[in-house]
A and B are shown apart, each in its own frame.
Chain A
C-alpha cells in the first residue's frame, strides 16, 4: 500500500549524461514536490507543482527540470549531471499547501561518475 513511489531507488549516471527520476502517488494529492538532499544535510526544495502549475525555487539550477503529465506522476530531469548533483532526491506530496502533511517517497540515490 505504498503511497509515494520513486523509481529507481538507485541510479548511476555518467557526468553530463541526462537522467530522469520518476515519482508516482496513489493519494490523489494536488501538490507534488522535489527535494534534493545531500549527505548529512537538510532536504532542499527544488520545485513543486500545484496541479499543473509549476513553481521553481529561485536558486534551483537550470540544469534541473520537471514534468507532471498527470496527477499521479511527476518526473525530475537532470539535463547534464555534474559531480555536485550526486544526492538523494526525494519526492513528496500534499493535498494542498504547507499546513498539510507532506508524504515522502523513499528517495532515489543518484551517483554521478
Chain B
C-alpha cells in the first residue's frame, strides 16, 4: 500500500531563517512525488514535482526538494523564508499510469517576524 507521512504537523520559524519540511513515503512501485502549498481559504498550488532524473528538484518561490530513494524521503527546503510563506504544505505521491494522488496530512509553516 502507498502512504505519505509528514513528520511535523507544525513548524514555526523566524523570518529569513532556513526551513525543512519532512516527508517520507511508502510504496512498492516507482512513484511520482509532489509538494503543494495551500494558503488560507484557497485551493492547492503545485510547488514542485519529482518524476525522474535529477534528485534535486527546484520549484517556485525559492523552494527545492531532494528525492532520496534509499531513505524513501522527499524533504522540502528553503534557505530563507518570508512572512508570505506562512501556509499549509502538503507532500503527495502518485503512481505512474494512474490518476490518484495520495496526500500527506500537511505541515503548517508559520513564519514569525
List residues of A whose CB falls within 8 A of some B CB.
4, 31, 33, 40-45, 48, 50, 55, 57, 90, 92, 97-99, 101-102, 104-107, 109
Contacts and interface: CB of A to CB of B under 8 A. Distances in A.
A106 B41 contact: yes
B90 interface: yes
Interface of B: 32, 41-46, 49, 51, 90, 94-101, 103-106
B43 A105 contact: yes
B44 A101 contact: no
B101 A99 contact: no
A9 to B, nearest CB: 8
Contacts of B45: 104
Contacts of B97: 97-98
Interface of B is mostly: loop
Contacts, number: 60
A55 to B, nearest CB: 7
A102 B94 CA distance: 12
B46 A102 contact: yes
Contacts of A102: 44, 46, 101
Among B49, B96, B101, which residue has the most Cβ atoms of chain A within 10 A? B101
Contacts of A4: 43
Contacts of B99: 31, 33, 48, 50, 55, 97-98
Contacts of A44: 103
A99 B41 contact: no
Contacts of A107: 41-43
Nearest to B51: A99
A39 to B, nearest CB: 11
A42 B106 contact: yes
Given A98-B95, A98-B96, A42 B104 contact: yes
